[in-house]
């Protein structure tokens, strides 16, 4: 499968603005009847040096979240087993911070090995990487690395000043160069324009991620975006999911954080029917998600199959 011939910013913007039912029908051509579940553990939470304006974990802002250092390997194994029982085929260790320290590497590599032993596909979201650390994760057996672009290249300077869009692309390229799969997505509703939503869909198409997690901003009190709950409506979410799918037909477009707050049940079902074929199940890093059994019931209702 490949994207629409000649897809570019102009044509994708025209698609975004067409009647919603027609746009969703176009996106459905690239969707599948199977939906893949994955899950995660917030292996280290809070006290992050980066200034991402949406994030409860940034040390630049005063937010009321529970913080903790790197968890024990036993905690990762326990949570991974629970995720597998709930239908997940992939499991990620996620840590706050700019990137893993040299001292972190041995235990993180051991976590990856233990996840693989459970018959799950290991994933990790650990921040910026250099070539050496990338190779260490490859040797540990890491299957997929998650590193969001977060937004479009042109809007990125408004999101954070402590690292650049290119820093993120460099990490993604390190991962691709050693043959680890790429999971890279976005957060929508952070004040970006419609044109920038189109731009982010095309930025992702340049990367060709295996998986694209799409988060919907959950405004967190104490962050600069605490009052940004009105920057995108439900129709805008559906339109953005559709153009991401059209621009990236070979990628799994995945529900991630924020859907419980930002989408009605009806529109969640519509997204799954037309544009979304992956779900990050359970709770997220600092916010509450949807019970996996509820997602399974939704898939049954829609006639979708769970990927195993």
- Tell me the per-residue pLDDT of 148-164, one tens digit each, with 9 for 90 and over: 999 999 999 999 999 99
What's the pLDDT score for residue 1? Answer: 40
Residues 284-305 have a mean pLDDT of 83
DSSP secondary structure letter of residue 221: T
Q: How far apart are CA 289 and CA 257, in angstroms?
A: 7
Q: How far apart are CA 30 and CA 22, in angstroms?
A: 14
Instruction: Look at residue 89 and give its three-state secondary structure.
Output: coil
Q: State pLDDT tens for residues 91-150.
A: 999 999 999 999 999 999 999 999 999 999 999 999 999 999 999 999 999 999 999 999
Structure token digits, residue 26 = 């176009």
Query: Considering the entire predicted model, what is its pTM?
Result: 0.95
The band of 283, judged by pLDDT with boundaries at 50, 70 and 90, is low
Q: Which range (39-53, 99-113, 278-292) has the least confidence?
A: 278-292
Q: Which residue is listed with tokens 């802002």? A: 61
Structure token digits, residue 192 = 């970006």
């Amino acid at each position: 499968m490949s994207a629409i011939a000649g897809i570019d910013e102009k044509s994708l913007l025209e698609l975004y603005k067409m009647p919603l039912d027609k746009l969703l029908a176009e996106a459905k051509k690239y969707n599948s009847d199977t939906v893949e579940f994955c899950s995660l553990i917030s292996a280290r939470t809070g006290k992050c040096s980066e200034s991402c304006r949406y994030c409860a974990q940034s040390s630049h802002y005063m937010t009321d979240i529970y913080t903790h250092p790197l968890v024990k390997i036993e905690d990762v194994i326990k949570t991974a087993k629970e995720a597998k029982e709930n239908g997940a085929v992939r499991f990620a260790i996620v840590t706050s911070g700019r990137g893993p320290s040299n001292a972190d590497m041995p235990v993180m590599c051991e976590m990856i090995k233990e996840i693989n032993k459970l018959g799950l596909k290991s994933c990790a979201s650990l921040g910026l990487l250099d070539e050496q650390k990338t190779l260490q994760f490859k040797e540990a057996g890491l299957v997929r690395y998650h590193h969001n672009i977060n937004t479009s290249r042109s809007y990125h300077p408004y999101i954070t000043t402590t690292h650049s869009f290119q820093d993120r692309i460099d990490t993604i390229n390190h991962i691709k160069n050693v043959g680890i799969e790429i999971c890279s997505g976005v957060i929508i509703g952070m004040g970006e324009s419609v044109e920038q939503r189109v731009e982010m869909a095309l930025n992702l198409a340049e990367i060709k991620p295996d998986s694209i997690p799409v988060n919907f901003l959950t405004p967190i009190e104490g962050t600069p975006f605490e009052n940004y709950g009105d920057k995108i409506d439900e129709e805008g979410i559906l339109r953005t999911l559709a153009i991401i799918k059209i621009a990236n037909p070979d990628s799994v477009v995945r529900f991630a954080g924020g859907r419980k707050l930002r989408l009605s049940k009806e529109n969640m079902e519509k997204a799954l029917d037309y544009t979304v074929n992956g779900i990050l199940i359970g709770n997220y890093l600092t916010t509450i998600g949807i019970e996996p059994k509820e997602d399974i019931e939704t898939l049954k209702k829609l006639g979708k199959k769970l990927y195993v």
